């Protein structure tokens, strides 16, 4: 009887340990799951096509807000995302990177078409007029403000430096911090694709 109870106890413990499994993996970036903002946009891509979040269903969507004249944050973020795409391998086809301009005054369709795909041919630049830009920035809680330069056209833009990630169903999931390198982003995107 004692042998039977010992065997039963070992079996129960084994089942309990198996049920616990390994702990859930942790995000490297800020988890926004369940937040009730940044639900959609209606902007034109650098090919002239009107786009909404729905157009990218089935893919992870990474959205970065910036401008082409940016001297530092924007090009480094775009270069970092290009590295992310390389490190994603075949899974990169399940990721869409969108660059939304906060400077529609200077960032024309032609300029976005020459700037954005230079980082990765799959990346899309999105733009709207001043009102559409203000609306999408407000909807996504993105800060931006024009900073005057020495001439009327040499201004810069202060703006939020991180990126948003949406899952394959179009739900907001993560906020990516600027300047962290590709590896933490790749980890989180692969985790979302599981």
SS (H, E, C) 7-59: HHHHHHHHHHHHHHCCCCCCCCCEECCCCCCCCCCCEEECCCCEECHHHHCCC
The reply, when asked if residue 187 is annotated as ligand binding, is no
The reply, when asked if residue 20 is annotated as ligand binding, is no
Q: What is the domain partition of the chain in residue ranges?
A: 32-193
Query: CATH homologous superfamily of domain 32-193?
Result: Glutaredoxin (3.40.30.10)
pLDDT digits (tens, 9 = 90+) for 27-83: 999 999 999 889 999 999 999 999 999 999 999 999 999 999 999 999 999 999 999
- The average pLDDT across 140-163 equals 94
Q: CB of 41 within 8 A of CB of 136?
A: yes
* Percent of the residues in the chain that have a pLDDT greater than 70, as a whole number: 88
Q: Over the chain, what is the mean pLDDT?
A: 90
pTM for the model stands at 0.86
The reply, when asked if residue 178 is annotated as ligand binding, is no
């Amino acid at each position: 009887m004692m042998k039977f109870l010992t065997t039963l106890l070992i079996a129960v413990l084994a089942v309990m340990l198996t049920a616990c499994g390994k702990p859930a993996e942790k995000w490297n970036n800020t988890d926004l799951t369940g937040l009730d903002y940044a639900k959609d946009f209606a902007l034109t891509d650098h090919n002239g096509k009107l786009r909404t979040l729905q157009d990218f269903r089935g893919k992870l969507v990474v959205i970065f807000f910036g401008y082409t004249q940016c001297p530092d944050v924007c090009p480094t973020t775009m270069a970092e995302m290009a590295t992310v795409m390389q490190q994603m391998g075949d899974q990169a086809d399940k990721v869409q990177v969108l660059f939304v301009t906060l400077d529609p005054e200077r960032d024309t369709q032609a300029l976005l078409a020459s700037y954005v795909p230079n980082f990765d041919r799959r990346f899309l630049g999105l733009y709207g007029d001043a009102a559409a830009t203000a609306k999408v920035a407000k909807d996504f809680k993105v800060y931006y403000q024009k900073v005057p330069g020495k001439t009327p056209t040499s201004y810069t833009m202060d703006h939020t430096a991180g990126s948003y990630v949406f899952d394959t169903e179009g739900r907001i999931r993560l906020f990516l911090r600027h300047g962290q390198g590709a590896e933490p982003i790749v980890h989180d995107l692969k985790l979302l694709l599981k």
